[in-house]
Structure 1
Amino acid sequence: MTITVQRHTISRQLLPRREPSIPKHTAQLLARIEDSPFALESVMSTALVTAYERTSVDPDVSWVESWEAWVTAMQAGSAIFAAATATEANVQCLIHHEKRTVSAFTQSETFVDVGHWVTAFYLAVICRNGQRLTVLCQIPIAKLRESGAVYNKYHYAWIETLQAFWLGREDFSDELVEAASGTQPGSMSTTDQDYVSRITWPPMDLLRWRATGQHDEFNRALEEALRAHKDYWSADQERADSCYGWVALAPLAMACFALDAGFPIEVDSDYLPKHLLKATWAGEFPTRINPWRRCSHHGREPRGCRTPD
């Protein structure tokens, strides 16, 4: 039986219409990425905001324009880390249908950090881009520490967990235990406990059930994760009207992992846009340079079959 978790009410006025996939401001930023690394981060951020905001009027992501915004955010996010780890003067990246030259970063940038890495990872999962996931998972934690941003120890353990899961490393369980233990009350110094309990911890629980192949437990945890997400983002009107709460990004990524492994997903919600979850748009158009041919097992096992675009 499918359980429905209703999305909280959005009262913000002037919601988006069906317009070009990225707004004019984002297009202007794209024109600047060859000269400014900060423009690349801004492209990722503004494209993701566009993707989130579109779900207020296109909750299933049934418009190709909505899909393009998600893809642009993913491409820009991956490009950030390609530029940060480049060994040559520049890298070639496909972003919003055009091959673009991105200059390698010559110094440590503040946004080459944990938050952007995790978001880039989730976006690559949702867009079913296995090669990007593999590249992201080969980035050492030391590179993220160079940003100077302050994160708790469990944040880094969570990245190690995701990398271990995707690459099939034997230390996956140990890393997951370390990440999860770091979210317990009293173990943090810089993060709000309510946010950690309702937003950070649930995807860790979901990945545990995905990794152990337990379908019923995964669906139970998915329902709990979405209800926790709703509780957090509907706590007051300011939060409720923030587009960052209109999609449950991390649970969505974990649900994509599960669905692609053959799990039945028995929770329905606007927090999990249907066509993102089901990979309806995957392969609609190239999302990277020289895409691989589609794997014959696409949609079954993420770690055993590197999915293409």
Structure 2
Amino acid sequence: MVSTIPRHPFPTENTEEGLALLRETAQEEIDALEESSTGLGDAFQTSLILAHSHCLLDPRAAIFPTWDAWVTAMQVGSAVFAAATTTEPHVQCRIAHKDRTLQATGPQWYVNPSTWINALYLAVACREKDRINALCRVPVSLLRENGSRFEEYQYAWVETLQAYWRGDMDLVRKLVAAVDATDPRSVADPETVSKIVYPPMELFHRFIRKDNAGFNQALLNALRWHKEYWSEESRALHATGLVALGPLAMVCIAYDAGMPIEGESDYLPAVLIKRNWCGEFPT
């Protein structure tokens, strides 16, 4: 039985104008990257917001501009780490239908576990195996060199996802460490961790156990918590809440493995899950 979780209310007035402005800003930031690759952090944030924003009027991601925006965000996210890890002075990255020569950046404020996790989720949703593999070669130590402190559950979750894609034998141990690190008593923001960070971990846990019923129950919980979190007044107008990115990535992994998905929501663009747009143009 398929259960549907409706999205929280979000105003649609002036959406097209807002998208046009975001698209222009993202393109300007992307076009400036060959002059200064350190703009990758801002370009990624803008591109990610644009991808989410497209799903306001196109929640299924059924039209080409939405797919185009998601691919661009995925490309910028991957470029962040290609530029940070290259041992050459420059690296070639395809972004927004163009091959671009970016300068090596090394550690930067935006080369952190949060950015990595979002970049990985995007690559999974877009089914970009080569970029997933490249992201899984990024040393976790590099993510600690950005000058800011991040909580240990973030590093542990990065290590878990890398272990899965690399086929490491200690996957379960790393997943247990990531889940344990989300204990509400040990984190700075228990609400965000319990409603946004932890649910993809639980989905992944159910997936690797091949627990179909558990996965689908965890998916419904994740969507309910996502809706509850982003319905809060101070967050309700943030475009980031339009898509449940972490659960979406876990659903894509499960779907590709043949697991039946019994939850539907505007938070989960159905066309992305079903890979309909993959291969539409060179990425």
Change over 3 Å in CA distance of 1:218–1:21 after alignment to 2 = farther
- Closer, same or farther: CA 21–253 of 1 in aligned 2, 3 Å: farther
Distance apart, 1:49 and its partner CA: 1.0
Structure 2, unaligned stretches of length 5 or more?
none
Give CA-to-partner distance per residue, 1:227-270, whole Å, 9 cap, x none. 0101111022x311111111000000000000000011110100
Match of residue 36 from structure 1: 36
Identity of aligned residues (%): 44
Q: Which residue of 2 aligns with 1:222?
A: 219
Counterpart in the other structure of 1:157: 156
User: Partner residue of 1:121?
Assistant: 120
| Residue 255 of structure 2 is aligned to residue 256 of structure 1 | no
Residue 192, structure 1, aligned to residue 210, structure 2? no
CA contact (8 A) 1:226 1:271 kept: yes
Alignment of 1:233-272 (within 5 A): 233-236=230-233, 238-272=234-268
User: 1:212 is aligned with what amino acid?
Assistant: R
Structure 2 counterpart of 1:131: 130
Higher helix content, 1 or 2: 2
Corresponding residue of 2:98: 98
Q: Which amino acid aligns with 2:275?
A: A
Q: Tell whether the 8 Å contact from 2:74 to 2:123 is kept in structure 1 after alignment.
A: yes
- Displacement after TM superposition at 1:167 (Å): 1.1
Q: Deviations over 1:134-164 (max 9, x none)?
A: 1111111111101122111111111000001
Q: CA deviation at 1:187?
A: 1.5
SS of 1:239's equivalent in the other structure is coil
Letter in 1 for 2:149: V
Structure 1 portions without partners, runs of 5+: 288-309
Root-mean-square deviation (CA), in Å?
Answer: 1.6
Match of 1:202 in 2: 199
Given that 1:32 and 1:39 are in contact with CA atoms closer than 8 Å, whether structure 2 keeps it comes out as yes
| Distance in structure 2 (CA, Å) of the matches to 1:55 and 1:180 | 30
- Aligned residue for 2:94, secondary structure, equals strand
SS in 2 for 1:16: helix
Give the C-alpha shift of residue 30 in structure 1. 1.9
- The one-letter code sitting in structure 1 at the alignment partner of 2:263 is V
Amino acid at match of 1:157: A
Moved over 3 A (4+): 17-22
Give, as a single letter, the amino acid of the residue that structure 1 aligns with 2:244.
Answer: A
Residue 11 of structure 1: how far off its partner (Å): 2.7
Aligned-partner SS, 1:92 = strand
With over 3 angstroms needed to count, the CA separation of the structure-2 counterparts of 1:55 and 1:231, relative to structure 1, is same
CA distance in structure 2 between the partners assigned to 1:198 and 1:20 by the alignment: 31
In the alignment, what sits opposite 1:232? 229
TM-score with structure 2 setting the length: 0.96
Deviation at 1:168, TM superposition (A): 1.1
The CA distance in 2 between the partners of 1:24 and 1:247, in whole Å, is 22
**In the alignment, what sits opposite 2:78?**
78
Code of the residue aligned with 1:26 in structure 2: it is: A
Deviation at 1:41, TM superposition (A): 2.1
1:284 equivalent to 2:280? Answer: yes
Q: Give, as a single letter, the amino acid of the residue that structure 1 aligns with 2:191.
A: D
Whether the 8 Å CA contact 1:161–1:179 is kept in 2: the answer is yes
Q: How many residues align?
A: 283
After superposition, what is the alpha-carbon deviation per residue over 1:163-199, rounded to whole angstroms, capped at 9, x for unaligned?
Answer: 01111111110001011011112122xx311111111
Q: In 1, are the aligned partners of 2:202 and 2:218 still within 8 Å (CA)?
A: yes
Q: CA deviation at 1:213?
A: 1.0
Quote the Cα distance in structure 1 between the aligned partners of 2:181 and 2:49. 29
In 2, Cα distance between equivalents of 1:146 and 1:18: 35
Q: Which deviations, in whole Å up to 9, do the C-alpha atoms of 1:37-56 show, x marking residues without a partner?
A: 23222222111111111111
Q: Does 2:166 correspond to 1:170?
A: no
